[in-house]
Structure 1
Amino acid sequence: MSSVSGLDGCVSPAVHPEKVAMVTAHAPAADELARVTSVFKLLGDPTRARLLYALLEAGELCVCDLAAATGTAETTVSQALRLLRASAVVTGRREGRNIYYRLSDAHVRLLLDVTREHALHDNESRT
């Protein structure tokens, strides 16, 4: 079988078949990728990201406190929290009439910390 050179200089079939086989064997399943990308979509909204970073700092806040801390309308906060709860990014604890929200686990905290660190690092490396 002859090799065909692509426009980008790659030769078909793959130049490094062992690496391609390794990547293919360890690639996430479609349902797993869907869950991962849904988390990134949630983080892709500035309002939801502000709320998550507020919870990262404070630990636990009610809707009123989140609205005041982020300068966001309470209805917007409630809608955002509904999506974040549905995706298990935040959890709530009821105390009387209030629900206090917090990040669901250490994975979410780590994701926020690493994402922010990467964004700051990327910005510093460009200057």
Structure 2
Amino acid sequence: MKRNYEHAESCEYIHVHEDIVEKVNAQMPAEDDLDDLADFFKIFGDTTRIKMLYVLLCSEMCVCDLAQILNMTQSAISHQLRVLKQMDLVKSRRDGKTIFYSLSDGHIKTILSQGLDHIQEDEE
């Protein structure tokens, strides 16, 4: 059955609510910040990076551990870690000759957890 969504996308009566428009415009972040936010969320659009972030949510790990868990090459893991580090989603620490990776802060954990909660909620 085809539905008519024409009215959901446009107003029948053209009238701009200036007070609402002004209030929202005053709260809008700068264009550069919105561009950065879009780039930030693009990182979450890749399944491999999501898997890596979720693994790091569970425990800090070295490249060898990540490669083993995700069944990927160390080279592929290193490439994705570079991207995640550039976006400040992961951090590293050296212990002797080994570099361990973890989520950069609690915000990333919150984003992953809330996203997963949202997806699983839709399945119920």
Task: Report if TM-score (shorter chain) is over 0.5.
Answer: yes
Deviation at 1:8, TM superposition (A): 2.2
Residue 110 of structure 2 aligns with which residue? 110
- Matched with 2:22 is 21
Count of aligned residue pairs for this structure pair: 116
TM-score, with structure 1 as normaliser: 0.84
TM-score by length of 2: 0.86
Equivalent residue, structure 1, for 2:57:
56
Q: Tell me by how many angstroms 1:42 deviates.
A: 0.7
1:12 Cα deviation from its structure 2 partner? 3.2
For the residues of structure 2 that align with 1:38 and 1:89, how far apart are their CA atoms? 12
| Partner Cα separation in structure 2 for residue 75 and residue 57 of structure 1 | 22
Which residue matches 1:8?
A: 10
2:63 & 2:117 partners in 1: Cα distance? Answer: 27
Counterpart check, 1:35 vs 2:57? no
Whichever residue aligns with residue 31 of structure 1, its letter is D
User: RMSD over aligned Cα, in angstroms?
Assistant: 1.5
Shift of 1:10: 4.7
1:44 CA drift (Å) = 0.6
Q: 2: distance between equivalents of 1:24 and 1:12? A: 19
SS of 1:12 mapped into structure 2: coil
Distance across 2 between alignment mates of 1:52 and 1:10: 46
For residues 65-104 of structure 1, the aligned pairs below 5 Å read 65-104=65-104
Cα distance in 2 for partners of 1:106, 1:79 equals 23
User: Mind listing any 5+ residue stretches in structure 2 that lack a counterpart?
Assistant: 1-8
The one-letter code of the counterpart of 1:32 is D
Mapped to 1, the partners of 2:74 and 2:90 lie a distance apart of 17
* Structure 2 counterpart of 1:98, one-letter code: T
* Counterpart position of 1:119: 119
Identity rate, percent: 37
Distance 1:113 1:17, change over 3 A: same
